[in-house]
Amino acid sequence: MVLYVYALESLILAHGDCDGVCAASIALAARRNAKVVFTNPAGLLSELKSIEAGSIIILDVALTSKHKDEIASEFKRLGSRNEVVYLDHHPLPQGLRVSRLPVKTLKGARGACASELAYAYFKDDLEPEMSRVAIYGAIGDYSDDTPGVRRMLEKWDKRQLYLEAGILVAALEGVRRRDFDFKRSLVNYLSENRLPSADRSLVETAVRESERDEEMRRLVKSLVKTRGKVSYVVNVEWSLGKAATYARAYGGTIVGVAADEQDGNIDLSIRSVGLRSLHRVVSSVAGALGGIGGGHANAAGARIPRGMLSEFISMLDERLG
């Protein structure tokens, strides 16, 4: 654990997906001296505990119900002396009100992703053309159909931005999830509003990822297993989100799961169609198994102890009713 003691500096804590990277780029454009650290819902609490002082901007990192009380008290500790900005769009754990804590936040229109929120929050300190970085983030999170993003898109030719966002999404999925140096340099690059397509190595990575997608999609098709309403694949070395989506599609079920065994844990992505609160089911099942989980209505993630996958799949199937 690293101690961050940046008396007058800011720390940006962001999720490492396209939305998190774009939101961090926007925040960095507005707060030039900030340090960028990538984290995720399971890691947020320990990051917060390691911070002594300085202002903090948290982007696209969901608050988990398992840690909600401890996170609230960290927000109180840090927010009483420093500026703490919390911008996120994941459903909050029941009983937690960020608006009652000493942190600055912004509630956007329904469906507004973290990049859209970050652009709205830091608008006065940004070049207006940074709006396209917010649009990449929104596309990356399937959140480009909001009033705010539609308004931003009026100033751009959307076909061009879809190419740029596509390169970004594919490149981010083509690198290791924990390649934080790559992600940090990408945040620097995007904070200057430089185009993804202008970086040939980014384009290369994206094109290679598209080729791999085609191969891996077929692999998922051949490996998928089904238990009740849940289809799943294990240790397919590919984007967990995509593997879960295709597990669901080829398994012909409403829910797909992709699992990745890491050291003592299993990282999971879960994708569904037509559900209202997949994140709640996933959070309760993961919690019951000594893990942690959350996300959105039809896209969720979890981390559970190793050896618990079979129980996870069975309990998920049961609780889907």
Using the rule CB under 5 A, is 60 a contact of Mn ion?
yes
Residues numbered 166-195 forming contacts with Mn ion, rule: CB under 5 A: none
Q: Across the beta sheet with 84-87, what order do the strands follow?
A: 35-38, 4-14, 51-59, 84-87, 104-105
Q: Which is nearer to Mn ion, 114 or 233 (CB)?
A: 114
Using the rule CB under 5 A, is 13 a contact of Mn ion?
no
Residues numbered 97-156 forming contacts with Mn ion, rule: CB under 5 A: 113-114, 141
Using the rule CB under 5 A, is 88 a contact of Mn ion?
no
Q: Which stretch binds Mn ion (CB under 5 A): 60-68, 104-112, 226-234, 305-313?
A: 60-68
Q: Provide the residue type at 80 as one letter.
A: S
CB of 141 to Mn ion, least distance (A): 4
Within 8 A by CB and 6+ apart from 142, the residues are: none
Using the rule CB under 5 A, is 19 a contact of Mn ion?
yes
Q: Which is nearer to Mn ion, 60 or 260 (CB)?
A: 60
Q: Locate 139 and state its tokens.
A: 């596309």
Among candidate residues 233, 222, 218, 216, the one with its CA nearest the CA of residue 313: 233
| C-alpha dihedral (53, 58, 63, 69), degrees to nearest 10 | 20
Using the rule CB under 5 A, is 47 a contact of Mn ion?
no
Q: Which is nearer to Mn ion, 108 or 251 (CB)?
A: 108
CB of 80 to Mn ion, least distance (A): 28
Contact string 248-287 vs Mn ion (x = CB under 5 A)? ----------------------------------------
Nearest residue relative to Mn ion (C-beta): 19
Return phi, psi of residue 286, to 5°. Answer: -60, -45
CB of 267 to Mn ion, least distance (A): 17
* DSSP conformation letters of 68-111: HHHHHHHHHHHHTTS-EEEE--SPPPTT--GGGSSSEE---STT
State the residues that interact with Mn ion by CB under 5 A.
19, 60, 113-114, 141
